[in-house]
């Protein structure tokens, strides 16, 4: 799921590919609060995953966001 | 087909805009806010904006834009509709004063309040005035001195909002003519009114007998939630407007003009609609978010610069407080902005 998330961040949100590592924080990849809303909308549209921007903002790292996506996709 | 489309409708006959001369750069803002040019540009797409000087009111901007639109059309008007969120006073409406200063005589004149969707709400209203035979020529002005309700210390809004006015003259005409206004898709969701608001200064606060808390007289916006709704509503209403106009879809648009709210919202909406980057009109870098004035200022500047020309199929959309939103599709007429 990390690779899927990385692909979304790079292609849809124009994040620099090399900066997207599991331990990277939102600050590290320059993902501000509006970009998190965009990511939430992209995940829903492209993958059918309903994860709110509030939930994504609580994830400390990119790895944590990917784990959230895994949980949500198995739940669905 | 609506009833109006069967017979007579409103046709765009002229347009113009006016921006106050004072320009505020991102550099200027960094002197009083914890922000930077790079931060503002990357998050909003804005580099400069025009602001009113002390003593200048919405009507002052509206009169100038209105005069230019009348000059462009080469005629007078028998009704004035003013879309604004920042009227000169709570009472009366600002439009009658604007009509009087333009020397239009005892014409119908009133304000429309739909925040950043005001131009499209005003366009539908003005079209109705003409279709019903109430008016022959309507001067529709959208003007906001938005910075007068912005908290100068709020980094989230102070970098975005700006002042300006744009106007169009609408005349009676045939639905098949270039510039004819067809169905305007409009909508609202008052259950989410708190996402964009000025909390104090109205009857709710005044009747409470409680003085407003500090800052409640200023405009507030819940950025993240607004972003999501703005994208969803502008995308959906653009699709509806394209369909209502008989287009195959929004991708038929030669030019796309969306309320200049934030460059990232605009890019997301246009991407979702499948509109190529070279077809997107934009001036947000130079003027910021001018509220209701945003769309007509964009149209007047684009027409003056030659990026919007006669025959272009144009798709317009806006979103704002209310929540409110709208969209419409038309063929751009042969008009020269003044």
Of chain B, the percentage scoring pLDDT greater than 90 comes to 94
The predicted model gives B243-254 an average pLDDT of 97
Q: Are residues B83 and B115 in the same domain?
A: yes
What pLDDT score does B4 carry?
A: 44
Which residues does residue B144 pair with via DSSP β-bridges, in sequence order?
B164
pLDDT digits (tens, 9 = 90+) for B252-268: 999 999 999 999 999 99
Q: How far apart are CA B141 and CA B63, in angstroms?
A: 9
Q: DSSP letter for B153, please.
A: T
Main-chain phi, psi angles of B317, to 5 degrees: -150, 155
From the CA of B228, how many Å to the nearest CA of chain A? 7
What pLDDT score does A61 carry?
A: 95
Asked whether residue B272 carries a pLDDT value surpassing 70, the answer given is yes
From the CA of B224, how many Å to the nearest CA of chain A? 6
Scored b (16 or more CB within 10 A) or e, B183-219 reads bbbbbbeeeeeebbbbbbeeeebeeeeeeeeeeeebb
**Which own/partner contact pairs does B300-309 have at CB distance under 8 Å and 24+ positions apart?**
B300/B15, B300/B16, B300/B17, B300/B68, B300/B166, B300/B337, B301/B17, B301/B337, B302/B255, B302/B257, B303/B15, B303/B332, B303/B335, B303/B336, B303/B337, B304/B337, B307/B255, B307/B281, B308/B255, B308/B257, B308/B281, B308/B332
Q: Please tell me which residue in B18, B26, B50, B116 is annotated as part of the active site.
A: B116
The predicted model gives B212-224 an average pLDDT of 95
The predicted model gives B100-114 an average pLDDT of 98
Range of the domain at B61: 3-173
Residue of B227, B233, B277 to mutate when probing chain A, most A C-beta within 10 A: B227
pLDDT category at B70 given cuts 50, 70, 90 is very high
pLDDT category at B39 given cuts 50, 70, 90 is confident
In a domain? residue B336: no
Q: Is B262 a catalytic residue?
A: no
Q: Are residues B227 and B252 in the same domain?
A: yes
In a domain? residue B148: yes
Q: Are residues B254 and B138 in the same domain?
A: no
Ramachandran region, residue B23 (left: φ > 0; alpha: ψ -120 to 50; beta: rest): beta
Q: How far apart are CA B269 and CA B275, in angstroms?
A: 9
In a domain? residue B205: yes
Determine the Cα angle at B65 with ends B62 and B67, to 5°.
105
Range of the domain at A6: 2-75
Q: Is B289 a catalytic residue?
A: yes
pLDDT digits (tens, 9 = 90+) for A33-74: 889 999 999 999 899 999 999 999 999 999 999 999 999 888
The predicted model gives B71-78 an average pLDDT of 97
Q: Is B259 a catalytic residue?
A: yes
Q: Are residues B154 and B228 in the same domain?
A: no
Asked whether residue A32 carries a pLDDT value surpassing 70, the answer given is yes
Q: Do B264 and A41 touch (CB under 8 A)?
A: no
Mean pLDDT score across all residues of chain B: 96
Q: How far apart are CA B57 and CA A66, in angstroms?
A: 51
What pLDDT score does B79 carry?
A: 98
pLDDT category at B6 given cuts 50, 70, 90 is low
Number of domains, chain A: 1
CATH of the domain at A44: 1.10.1200.10
Detail the DSSP E strand segments found in B28-94. 48-51, 79-83
Q: Are residues B198 and B162 in the same domain?
A: no
In a domain? residue B42: yes
CATH of the domain at B123: 3.40.47.10
Q: Are residues B147 and B192 in the same domain?
A: no
């Amino acid at each position: 799921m990390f690779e899927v998330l990385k692909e979304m961040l790079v292609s849809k949100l124009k994040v620099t590919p090399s900066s997207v590592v599991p331990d990277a924080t939102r600050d590290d990849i320059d993902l501000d609060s509006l970009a998190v809303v965009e990511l939430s909308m992209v995940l829903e549209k492209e993958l059918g995953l309903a994860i709110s921007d509030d939930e994504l903002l609580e994830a400390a790292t990119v790895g944590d966001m990917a784990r959230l996506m895994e949980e949500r996709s198995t739940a669905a | 087909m609506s009833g109006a489309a069967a017979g007579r409708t409103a046709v765009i006959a002229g347009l113009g805009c006016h921006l106050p001369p004072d320009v505020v750069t991102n550099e200027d803002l960094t002197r009083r806010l914890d922000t930077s040019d790079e931060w503002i540009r990357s998050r909003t797409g804005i580099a400069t904006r025009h602001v009113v000087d002390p003593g200048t009111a919405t009507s002052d901007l509206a009169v100038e834009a209105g005069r230019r639109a009348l000059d462009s059309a080469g005629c007078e008007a028998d009704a004035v509709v003013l879309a604004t969120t920042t009227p000169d006073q709570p009472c009366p409406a600002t439009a009658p004063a604007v009509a009087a200063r333009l020397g239009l005589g005892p014409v119908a004149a009133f304000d429309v309040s739909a925040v950043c969707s005001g131009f499209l709400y005003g366009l539908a209203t003005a079209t109705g005035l003409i279709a019903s035979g109430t008016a022959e020529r309507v001067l529709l002005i959208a003007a906001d001195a938005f910075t007068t309700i912005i908290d100068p210390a709020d980094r989230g809004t102070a970098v975005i909002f700006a002042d300006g006015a744009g106007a169009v003259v609408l005349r009676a005409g045939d639905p098949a003519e270039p510039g004819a206004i067809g169905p305007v898709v409009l909508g609202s969701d008052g259950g989410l009114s708190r996402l964009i608001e000025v909390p104090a200064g109205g009857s709710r606060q005044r009747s409470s007998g409680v003085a407003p808390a500090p800052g409640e007289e200023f405009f507030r916006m819940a950025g993240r939630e607004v972003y999501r709704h703005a994208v969803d509503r502008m995308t959906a209403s653009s699709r509806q407007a394209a369909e209502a106009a008989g287009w195959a879809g929004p991708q038929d648009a030669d030019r796309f003009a969306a309320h200049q709210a934030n460059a990232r919202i605009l890019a997301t909406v246009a991407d979702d609609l499948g509109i190529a980057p070279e077809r997107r009109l934009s001036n947000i870098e130079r003027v910021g978010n001018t509220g209701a004035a945003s769309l007509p200022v964009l149209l007047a500047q684009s027409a003056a610069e030659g990026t919007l020309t006669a025959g272009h199929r144009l798709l317009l959309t806006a979103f704002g407080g209310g929540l409110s939103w709208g969209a419409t599709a038309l063929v751009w007429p042969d008009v020269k902005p003044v």
